[in-house]
């Protein structure tokens, strides 16, 4: 299947090709979460730094109780501390090894997609997720081994700059203007969309069928099951890259599903889920397919049900939540 969009999703083999061809200009970013993975990974990388590689914690990107993304200024601080500033690299490759549940299915690479949404919002045009089941936590070491001369040059060039990066609490000297401000949809915009004030749209719910149907909430801190009015269900868990189905096959199947719903590549699509992770990955998939008017409702059902409890039902008794972090990403 031929894609007609920027390269926002790549296979492992394609990532290695990018590393070999563009090596001192590539930054590898692992997206991690202290809740899902524990702090040991962070400690290991802090003690064994690899030039051309950084980690970004999901906990630094979001804030409770809604788990919305932080303010623009705070997000810029997080990115800048990792050397992610506009124009700093020709290519940024994201990956993670966090696996979540989506109903009865599993979901991966949602954490990477969460960061990709932030980068796209600020105009980082050359960021892509390595969406491949073969990606391993050892990938940074392997990537460094594949480009030893480039890594040494990268270290020599960037170590002085790293010392001058903004630290926690310091201000970023120059504020960045979001290049795609409409990509992150706020609650007020959602209200206007549903009221019919902003023209046609397709609201796509990427949660599991059980969450969409109101059987379960999927989270222990969301008391009501239900969905946002006008939403259509396209289950995140149904579009997972695996050893049995590669990226191109998943994209082809998603393209067919959207076409059957009568959704065109120029239609305004707004994705949402519970708190933003799963919908972020579906945004990335549709962008990779060439859909040009894709957006993420960051607040998701977690925010919506607090303003509109009438759209939910009582939480089923005895529900066992699938994703129940006290400090979720």
27-51 pLDDT, tens digit each: 999 999 888 876 666 666 666 778 7
Is residue 93 within 8 A of residue 261, CB to CB? The reply is no
Same structural domain, 188 and 154: no
pLDDT of residue 34: 83
Alpha-carbon span 276 to 256, nearest angstrom: 24
Q: 142 with 196, same domain?
A: no
Instruction: Give yes or no for residue 98 having a pLDDT over 70.
Output: yes
Q: What share of the chain in percent tops pLDDT 70?
A: 81
pLDDT tens-digit map of 214-225 = 988 888 888 899
Give the per-residue pLDDT at 320. 44
Whole-number average pLDDT of the chain: 85
CA distance 33 to 101: 16
Q: Which residue has the higher pLDDT, 239 or 102?
A: 239
The pLDDT value recorded for residue 88 is 81
Q: How many CB atoms lie within 10 A of CB 128?
A: 23
Statement to judge: residues 91 and 195 lie in one domain: no
| Share of residues in the chain with pLDDT > 90 (%) | 60
Q: What pLDDT was estimated at residue 311? A: 94
Q: Out of 134-148, 201-215, 294-308, which region has the weakest mean confidence (pLDDT)?
A: 134-148
**Which pairs from 253-256 meet CB under 8 Å and 24+ separation?**
254/285, 254/286, 254/289, 255/1, 255/289
- d(CA 312, CA 298) in angstroms, rounded, equals 19
Domain membership flag for residue 2 = no
pLDDT at 321 over 60: no
Does residue 4 surpass a pLDDT of 90? no
Strands, DSSP E only, in 45-90? 53-57, 62-63, 68-69
When pLDDT is averaged across residues 203-223 and rounded to a whole number, the result is 91
127-130: strand order across its sheet? 9-10, 127-130, 91-95, 26-32, 53-57
Q: Does 289 map to a domain?
A: yes
Asked whether the predicted pLDDT for residue 317 surpasses 80, the reply is no
Asked whether residue 263 is assigned to any structural domain, the reply reads: yes
- The predicted pLDDT at position 158 comes to 46
137 and 261 belong to one structural domain: no
For residue 85, count other CB atoms closer than 10 A to its CB. Answer: 18
Q: What total of structural domains would you count in the chain?
A: 2
Same domain, 299 and 247: yes
pLDDT reading at 310 higher than 90: yes
Instruction: Based on the fold, state whether residues 14 and 149 are members of the same structural domain.
Output: yes
Regarding whether 30 and 150 lie in a shared domain, the answer is yes
> What integer pLDDT is reported at residue 23 of this predicted model?
67
Cα 173 to chain centroid, rounded = 26
Q: What pLDDT, on a 0 to 100 scale, did the predictor assign at position 276? A: 94
Could you give the 3-state DSSP secondary structure of residue 41? helix
CA distance 142 to 3: 28
Task: Give domain status of residue 169, yes or no.
Answer: no
**Residues 6 or more apart whose Cβ sits within 8 Å of residue 265:** 289, 290, 291, 292
**pLDDT value for 151:** 53
Among 163, 194, 222, the domain boundary falls at 163
Asked if residue 326 is part of any domain, the answer here is no
Residue 61 in any domain: the answer is yes
More confident residue, 89 or 168: 89
115 with 244, same domain?
A: no
Domain holding 263, by residue range, is: 181-314
Instruction: Report the alpha-carbon distance of residue 59 to residue 328 in Å, rounded.
Output: 7
Residue 107, strand partner residues? 100
Q: What's the pLDDT at 294?
A: 98
Check whether residue 129 and residue 242 sit in a common domain.
no
| pLDDT at residue 38, rounded to an integer | 63
- Residue 313: pLDDT band by 50, 70, 90 thresholds? confident
Q: Give tens-digit pLDDT for 266-275.
A: 999 999 999 9
pLDDT at 55 over 70: yes
Q: What is the pTM of this model?
A: 0.87
Q: Are residues 141 and 198 in the same domain?
A: no
| Per-residue model confidence (pLDDT) at position 160 | 34
Residue of 216, 321, 218, 327 lying closest to 279 (CA atoms): 218
Same domain, 23 and 135: yes
Q: Residue 85's domain is classified under what CATH number?
A: 3.40.250.10
Q: How many CB atoms sit inside 10 A of residue 148's CB?
A: 10
pLDDT exceeds 60 at position 319: no
Residues 83 and 196 in one domain: no
Say how far apart CA 44 and CA 50 lie, in whole Å: 11
Q: Which residues, listed in sequence order, are joined to residue 10 by a DSSP beta bridge? A: 130
Q: Is residue 244 part of a domain?
A: yes
Beta bridge partners of 102: 105
Give 135-177 pLDDT, tens digit per residue: 988 888 887 777 666 555 545 444 433 433 444 444 455 789 9
- Give Cα 82 to chain centroid, integer Å: 17
Mean pLDDT over residues 104-113, rounded? Answer: 90
């Amino acid at each position: 299947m031929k894609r007609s969009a920027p390269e926002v999703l790549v296979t492992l083999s394609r990532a290695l090709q990018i590393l070999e061809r563009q090596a001192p200009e590539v930054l590898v970013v692992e997206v991690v979460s202290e809740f899902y993975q524990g702090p040991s990974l962070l400690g290991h990388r802090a003690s064994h730094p690899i030039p051309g590689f950084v980690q970004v914690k999901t906990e630094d990107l979001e804030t409770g109780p809604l788990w919305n993304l932080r303010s623009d200024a705070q997000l810029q601080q997080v990115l800048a501390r990792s050397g992610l500033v506009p124009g700093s690299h020709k290519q940024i490759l994201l990956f993670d090894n966090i696996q979540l549940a989506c109903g009865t299915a599993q979901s991966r690479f949602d954490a990477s997609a969460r960061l990709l949404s932030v980068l796209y919002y600020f105009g980082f045009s050359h960021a892509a997720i390595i969406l491949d089941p073969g990606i391993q936590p050892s990938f940074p070491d392997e990537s460094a081994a594949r480009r030893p001369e480039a890594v040494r040059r990268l270290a020599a060039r960037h170590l002085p700059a790293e010392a001058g990066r903004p630290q926690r609490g310091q201000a970023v000297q120059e504020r960045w203007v979001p290049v795609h401000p409409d990509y992150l949809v706020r609650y007020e915009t959602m209200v206007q969309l549903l009221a019919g004030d902003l023209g046609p749209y397709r609201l796509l719910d990427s949660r599991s069928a059980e969450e969409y149907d109101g059987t379960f909430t999927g989270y222990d801190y969301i008391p009501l099951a239900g969905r946002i009015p006008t939403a259509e269900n396209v289950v995140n868990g149904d579009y997972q890259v695996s050893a049995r189905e590669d990226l191109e096959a998943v994209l082809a199947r998603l393209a067919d599903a959207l076409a059957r719903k009568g959704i065109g590549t120029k239609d305004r699509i707004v994705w949402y889920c519970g708190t933003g992770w799963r919908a972020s990955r579906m945004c990335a998939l549709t962008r990779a397919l060439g859909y040009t008017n894709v957006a993420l409702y960051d607040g998701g059902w977690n925010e919506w049900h607090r303003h509109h409890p009438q759209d939910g039902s009582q939480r089923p008794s005895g529900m066992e939540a699938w994703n129940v972090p006290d400090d979720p990403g």
